């Protein structure tokens, strides 16, 4: 075998040896720590009001009271938000909202099944959802 052929084979072996490292390397910052936001957050306030909270509709209070809520970001880009309500009749009700999320810079866009989109920001353990100007604040 010629020296030229040996050199080519050595180069191929070096390149192949480095391939697993190249495949497992993550981009510093974003991909390495992006899973830190995954998990369940509990609602602490709606538009600055502590939970439980009964929003005022048409100047009147008396609608369903939000007793509690969770906002769960799952691996794979899915989200589930569960709300528990106390109705004026004294009955209780629970409702799940499902959707998908995608990172948009330092924020997230949530697209709800059968509904629109909301913007979510996460700062440490605080998740804030802007629902058409009404802020829902959750803690991890």
Is 17 a member of any domain? Answer: no
- Residue 75's domain is classified under what CATH number? 2.40.128.300
Is 52 a member of any domain? Answer: yes
Residue 88: pLDDT band with limits 50, 70, 90: confident
Pairing of strands 92-104, 78-86: antiparallel
Say which range, 5-19, 32-46, 91-105, 109-123, has the weakest mean pLDDT.
Answer: 5-19
Structural domains in the chain (count): 1
Mean per-residue pLDDT, 34-58: 86
Give the 3-state secondary structure of residue 133: coil
Mean per-residue pLDDT, 59-76: 85
pLDDT in tens, 11-39: 222 222 332 323 322 233 333 345 688 99
Is 24 a member of any domain? Answer: no
Q: Above 60 in pLDDT, residue 109? A: yes
Q: Which domain holds residue 111?
A: 30-139
Is 94 a member of any domain? Answer: yes
Is 2 a member of any domain? Answer: no
Is 8 a member of any domain? Answer: no
For residue 48, the Cα-to-chain-centroid distance in whole angstroms is 21
Neighbours of 44 (CB within 10 A): 14
Distance CA 117, CA 49 (A): 23
- More confident position, 100 or 26: 100
Is 113 a member of any domain? Answer: yes
Distance CA 103, CA 93 (A): 31
């Amino acid at each position: 075998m010629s020296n030229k052929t040996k050199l080519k084979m050595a180069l191929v072996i070096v390149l192949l040896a480095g391939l697993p490292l190249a495949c497992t390397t993550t981009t510093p910052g974003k991909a390495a720590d992006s899973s830190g936001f995954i998990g369940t957050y509990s609602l602490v306030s709606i538009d600055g009001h502590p939970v439980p909270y009964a929003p005022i509709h048409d100047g009147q209070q008396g609608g369903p009271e939000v007793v509690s809520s969770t906002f769960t970001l799952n691996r794979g880009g899915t989200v589930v938000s569960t709300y528990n309500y106390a109705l004026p009749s004294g009955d209780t009700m629970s409702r799940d909202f499902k959707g998908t999320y995608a990172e948009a810079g330092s924020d997230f866009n949530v697209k709800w099944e059968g509904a629109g989109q909301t913007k979510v920001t996460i700062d440490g353990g605080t998740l804030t959802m802007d629902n058409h100007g009404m802020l829902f604040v959750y803690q991890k």
